[in-house]
Chain A
Amino acid sequence: MPESIVTILDVAIGGLLLGSIYALIAMGLSLQYGVARVLNIAHGEFIMIGAFCTLTLYTVVGINPLVCLAIVGPVIFVIGFLIQRTLFTKLRTSAPNQAAYEGSSMLATFGFMFIIQNIALIAWGADYQAYTYLNFGVNIGGAIFSANKLVILGFSIGIGVGFYTFLARTRMGKGIRSAAQDATTASLMGVNINHVLALCFGFGAAMAGMAGVLYSMRITLNPFMGLQYTVIAIIIIVLGGLGSIPGAFLGGLILGLIGEIVTKIDPSLSLAAHYFMFLPLILVRPKGIFGK
């Protein structure tokens, strides 16, 4: 196969991989902001916690990182559920209006960012850490990819599609979608709104955690890595339209591809490129590409 096609394939797979991770993270934040109206500044910290838990479970206990998905996901879900059920429910009911609630809940999540980061700092230290798993080459049509890339890609797309099906097909998913449209009306129609919003926050946090589990196979971890993913997730959900789950998924894939292309040109500019794209977009079309 000619050199150029291999390069294109390489960038495409890399971009899809990054994009599918971004998509998971952004879907999580989209649930938290789009439905529960909490712009979670601590979103990236759940990724970091998921990644570090996997590192410990794999290197110390010897549990397969893919099995960790089934451990870390539910645990983080419960934590997220309880946070929303106790703290944000109190904030939501005592806030005079929607804007005040959005502002104060965002500030509270900033406090969480501090707490989680520093718990991680005490637990795992400030050094960069990494582990290797499934790090062997797989030959696809002449181009060689490491196996973990393909596993991550498969699992993250699987989780994303699975969750979308859950939203679209189940009764609970219907409740979540109705709360996303109008929380007050939904609660009048018999949706237990506090419960649904807590579910959303929990699912959002769990998706971030699972993204962390998957992505930990490929990156070096440190306690302060979360913020950049939070910012990327914010950019994607604005890109895709606040509250739109398919928008978050597609936006994630697009941003991942762009990030990979820029990385090919100048790696030190890739993060800046993400943000730079976002600024004109929010000015021209603040409702996002897929927003109504």
Chain B
Amino acid sequence: MNITAFTFKKSLVPGLLLVILVALVTLPIYGSLYNVILVTSILMYANLTVSWVLFSGSTGYMSLATAAFFGIGIYASALFLPTTGAVFPVLVVVLIGGLASSLVALGVGALTLRLRGIYFAIFTFVLVVLIMELGIWWELSVSHLLGRYVILVDNNVIFYTMLGIFVLVMLTTFFIRRSKFGLAMRSIGENEEAASHIGINVTMVKVITFAISAFFMGATGAIWATKLTYVDPHVAFNVLFSFMPVLMAIFGGMGNIYGPVIGAALFAYLQETLQTEFPEIYMISFGFILVAVILYLPNGVLGLIQKLWKRISGGKRAHT
């Protein structure tokens, strides 16, 4: 590899990222309201997916607790941003949502991250349903409410908050991947026994990462709640949000930092389009797409493109 190509490549990626970022930041100026709302939901899914990959992608523990943390964030908004007499400004509530989620993640993680393989997935899956049931019980017998209303927030505010969380979660992922901490996470994913034998405090690394990823999920939920405006436990703790990040990550491919974002963007766009164009068969076709992705795209869209690219360009690049 020669020097000019190397420096060109090195400046290409940050340049491209800057262009995308500027395009996103200025979107409310040139884009229609529909586009802003569409990109907001894409960013929501991207936040969940990237923070899911941050923990599960590297450590290899499949967490299905995303909906729990997302829902805790949503409920933070429902409690602190009610239609009558909002207590805090939106950004503070987003922070509260994130912190509450990561506190729960610390507790849950410290208890459960000893569980290996499918047990961890089962535990986190049941956790979501448990929190939902407790929420329903609480609302019915203690607060006597079926659901709660959240104040209406300007679409641009929601968009910029979501974008802010997105930038933060991307930066966090980027720096963690480059740090010693990220290396420790990956070594846990490859072989946990070996990782603990070379002196990595595996439990601490797992729990801290779990809490960091939960923070972003909670923050995303808190701002998403202002878009929902009506919240009840079924809406907030929908198991769909546990599975979507996993599927989006697989769809995009987890090999690098952009894969999950691309997966989330494509999937969310597909979902929106199906929902508006074919509302009657939207959910069914969505199910078929999920199954097809698992069956035919085990390495994601990026993996497929890379495979095709290798085939086109011959054996030359096959082993780089």
Contacts and interface: CB of A to CB of B under 8 A. Distances in A.
Interface of A: 39, 87, 90-91, 94, 99, 102-104, 106-108, 110-115, 117-119, 121-122, 227-228, 231, 234-235, 238, 266, 268-269, 271-272, 275-276, 278-279, 282-283, 286
Contact of A268 (B111, B137, B291): B137
B123 interface: yes
Interface stretch (B40-48, B70-78, B159-167, B239-247): B239-247
B291 A87 contact: yes
Interface of B: 62, 111-112, 114-115, 117-119, 121-123, 125-127, 129-130, 133-134, 136-137, 140-141, 239, 243, 246-247, 250, 280, 283-284, 286-291, 294-295, 298
A244 to B, nearest CB: 15
Nearest to B108: A279
A107 B286 contact: no
Residue in B111, B239, B291 with the greatest tally of chain A CB atoms within 10 Å:
B291
A102 B271 CA distance: 26
B287 A115 contact: yes
A231 B121 CA distance: 12
B126 A235 contact: yes
B137 A122 contact: no
Contacts of B111: 283
A234 B286 contact: no
Contact of A108 (B141, B239, B291): B291
A41 to B, nearest CB: 8
A289 to B, nearest CB: 15
Contacts of B141: 266, 268
Contacts of B112: 283
B121 A272 contact: no
10 contacts: A91-B294, A107-B247, A110-B290, A114-B290, A118-B287, A122-B284, A227-B239, A266-B141, A275-B126, A279-B130
Contacts of A104: 294, 298
Contacts of B289: 111
Given A91-B295, A107-B246, A283-B112, A278 B136 contact: no
A39 B127 contact: no
Contact of B137 (A103, A114, A272): A272
Contacts of A39: 118, 121-122
B122 A238 contact: yes
B288 A111 contact: yes
